[in-house]
Copies of this chain bind each other. A is one copy, B any other.
Amino acid sequence: MKKVNVGLIGFGTIGSGVVKVLQERKSLLKDLTGVDIELKYVCDKDLSSDRGVRVGRRLLITDVDKILKDPDIDIVVELIGGIHPAKEIILSALKKGKDVVTANKALLAREGDIIFDSAGKFKREVRFEASVGGGIPIIKALREGLVSNKISEIYGIINGTCNYILSRMSDERCDYKVALKAAQKMGVAEADPKLDVSGADSAHKLILLAGLSFGVFAKPEQVYCEGILDIEPRDIAYAKEMGYAIKLLAITKRSRGEIELRVHPTLVPDWHLLADVKGVYNAIYVKGDLVGETLFYGEGAGKFPTASAVVSDIVDLAGCHARGSGHPVMDSCFPPSGTSRRNDIVLKIKKIGDIKTKYYIRFSALDKPGVLAKISGILGKNDISIANVTQKEERVAGAAPVVVMTHEATESKMRNALRLIDRLPAIKRKSVAIRIESLLGGPAK
């Protein structure tokens, strides 16, 4: 039987999950694949902490070079996270002819062009199933399962921390800070939650999803990104009254040679499956021209869901190694920087100002005659057409919340209108604007 040697770097939460699975499921995986996957090294700076998994002493090392320089190592699993030295380790592994498995979305989103270029150059593979959606096999679905589709839209709930906080704010009508504290207590938010709640983590993952779907590998600064810090329980409640849930969505769409890349809180109709994705769960809604609407749902993080994804990558690569061949689809996964491998069309990234969506807007207006006329006048002058207006009975610091739902409007015009409206003497606080996605399915064909 063919044997494939694995060197794992980063013996933290996910690393220990992967070690446990590779050890305990060794014979199961051998039965299923006909390949003997041998974990040869487990490398970490800290070898003394208890990870709840038994590892033979001879496997444990602190020197990463031992893995990189060992010609018997076929697959390097990078689970240390962060940019450095993860990047250098991956580039060195590829150069030495080893395939790489990683869960490092931040690195791939920032330096993916260099990494995938290098993989192509050395004819090696970089697999990253665990980088998006935890255990959900969404990367495999896009790469292989939907290979013949032209993808038109992806809407993802791909940050469990944000979804947990928003779910909790919705269920308990508590504010962001209370929900964040609860999330931290539950271990679903970091002590410093910035990367998650700012939307940056979702943006990193979105870059990978869009790259697979459209062959365009964007940089983090090209993704428009708004986090969940400004969401108030009031907005969640008003949205609910009108039949919507507020979710942090990562959105990419393709139309007329351009792609949209944006992460922001979004009103989602409550009849849509995405509205029902609660707590730390993730879901990725994908629309392809052949397959139509699909949705992939599961735990977006956590030790074992993530280990499940990492091991599926190891198994795929192990099979390729044992047989001396790569997987047919997109071996190096991404094309040289910027160009679209799906080269039927040249795509560029749409400016956020040009994007059109419907909007939920909440104004804090003094309850005086004529205010609504002024607001709607400014909206009208900016080509923003109103679908619905509700003045709430509630009074907040002397002002009445006025909720306006608009038809589709251009982002730049909306920003201009809000700037002018917020200058009106009758407007007491900065207005709140949240985009709406109708998600009105219909055939993709």
**Could you list which residues of chain A lie within 8 angstroms of chain B, going by C-beta atoms?**
17, 21, 25, 27-29, 31-35, 129, 134-137, 140-141, 144-149, 271, 273, 276-277, 281, 288-299, 302, 304-305, 307-309, 311-312, 315-316, 318-320, 322-331, 341-344, 445
Q: Provided the pairs A137-B146, A140-B141 are in contact, do residues A319 and B323 lie with their beta carbons within 8 angstroms? A: no
Say whether A137 contacts B135, CB under 8 Å: no
Give chain B nearest CB distance to A270 CB in angstroms: 10
What 10 additional pairs, Cβ within 8 angstroms, besides A21-B148, A28-B148, A141-B141?
A: A137-B146, A145-B309, A145-B312, A288-B308, A290-B305, A291-B298, A291-B304, A291-B305, A291-B308, A319-B329
Give chain B nearest CB distance to A189 CB in angstroms: 19
| 8 nearest CB pairs, A to B | A319-B328, A137-B145, A135-B291, A323-B325, A294-B298, A295-B297, A290-B308, A148-B311
Say whether A329 contacts B33, CB under 8 Å: yes
Give chain B nearest CB distance to A297 CB in angstroms: 4
Say whether A319 contacts B324, CB under 8 Å: no
Give chain B nearest CB distance to A436 CB in angstroms: 20
**How many angstroms between the C-alpha atoms of A307 and B31 in the bound complex?**
31
Say whether B316 contacts A328, CB under 8 Å: yes
Say whether A25 contacts B325, CB under 8 Å: no
**Which residues on B sit within 8 Å (CB–CB) of A27?**
344
**How many angstroms between the C-alpha atoms of A329 and B327 in the bound complex?**
12
Give chain B nearest CB distance to A302 CB in angstroms: 8
Give chain B nearest CB distance to A11 CB in angstroms: 18
**How many angstroms between the C-alpha atoms of A338 and B311 in the bound complex?**
27
**Which residues on B sit within 8 Å (CB–CB) of A305?**
290-292
Among the listed B29, B289, B342, which residue makes an inter-chain contact with A31, where contact means beta carbons less than 8 Å apart?
Answer: B342
**Which residues on B sit within 8 Å (CB–CB) of A320?**
325, 328
**How many angstroms between the C-alpha atoms of A341 and B32 in the bound complex?**
7
Among the listed B281, B315, B327, which residue makes an inter-chain contact with A148, where contact means beta carbons less than 8 Å apart?
Answer: B315
**How many angstroms between the C-alpha atoms of A312 and B288 in the bound complex?**
13
Say whether A290 contacts B327, CB under 8 Å: no
Say whether B299 contacts A296, CB under 8 Å: no
Can you offer 25 A-B residue contacts whose CB atoms are under 8 A?
A: A28-B148, A29-B147, A31-B341, A32-B147, A32-B329, A32-B330, A135-B292, A137-B144, A140-B145, A146-B308, A146-B312, A147-B311, A148-B307, A273-B297, A289-B304, A290-B307, A291-B299, A292-B302, A294-B297, A295-B295, A304-B445, A316-B328, A316-B329, A323-B326, A325-B325
Say whether A140 contacts B144, CB under 8 Å: yes
Among the listed B135, B149, B276, which residue makes an inter-chain contact with A308, where contact means beta carbons less than 8 Å apart?
Answer: B149
Give chain B nearest CB distance to A15 CB in angstroms: 15
**Which residues on B sit within 8 Å (CB–CB) of A316?**
144, 328-329
Give chain B nearest CB distance to A260 CB in angstroms: 22
Give chain B nearest CB distance to A26 CB in angstroms: 10
**Which residues on B sit within 8 Å (CB–CB) of A17?**
290
**How many angstroms between the C-alpha atoms of A137 and B139 in the bound complex?**
12
**How many angstroms between the C-alpha atoms of A48 and B308 in the bound complex?**
50
Say whether B290 contacts A21, CB under 8 Å: yes
**Which residues on B sit within 8 Å (CB–CB) of A331?**
34
**How many angstroms between the C-alpha atoms of A129 and B148 in the bound complex?**
14
Give chain B nearest CB distance to A151 CB in angstroms: 11
**Which residues on B sit within 8 Å (CB–CB) of A289?**
304
Among the listed B136, B140, B323, B328, which residue makes an inter-chain contact with A294, where contact means beta carbons less than 8 Å apart?
Answer: B136
Say whether B312 contacts A148, CB under 8 Å: yes
User: From A25, which residue of chain B is reached at the shortest CB distance?
Assistant: B148
Among the listed B25, B144, B324, which residue makes an inter-chain contact with A312, where contact means beta carbons less than 8 Å apart?
Answer: B144
Q: Provided the pairs A140-B141, A148-B21 are in contact, do residues A322 and B315 lie with their beta carbons within 8 angstroms? A: no
**Which residues on B sit within 8 Å (CB–CB) of A33?**
147, 328-330
Say whether A147 contacts B307, CB under 8 Å: no
**Which residues on B sit within 8 Å (CB–CB) of A297?**
273, 293-297
**How many angstroms between the C-alpha atoms of A141 and B146 in the bound complex?**
12
**Which residues on B sit within 8 Å (CB–CB) of A135?**
146, 288, 290-292, 294
Say whether B312 contacts A342, CB under 8 Å: no
**Which residues on B sit within 8 Å (CB–CB) of A298?**
291-295
Among the listed B277, B304, B327, B341, which residue makes an inter-chain contact with A319, where contact means beta carbons less than 8 Å apart?
Answer: B327
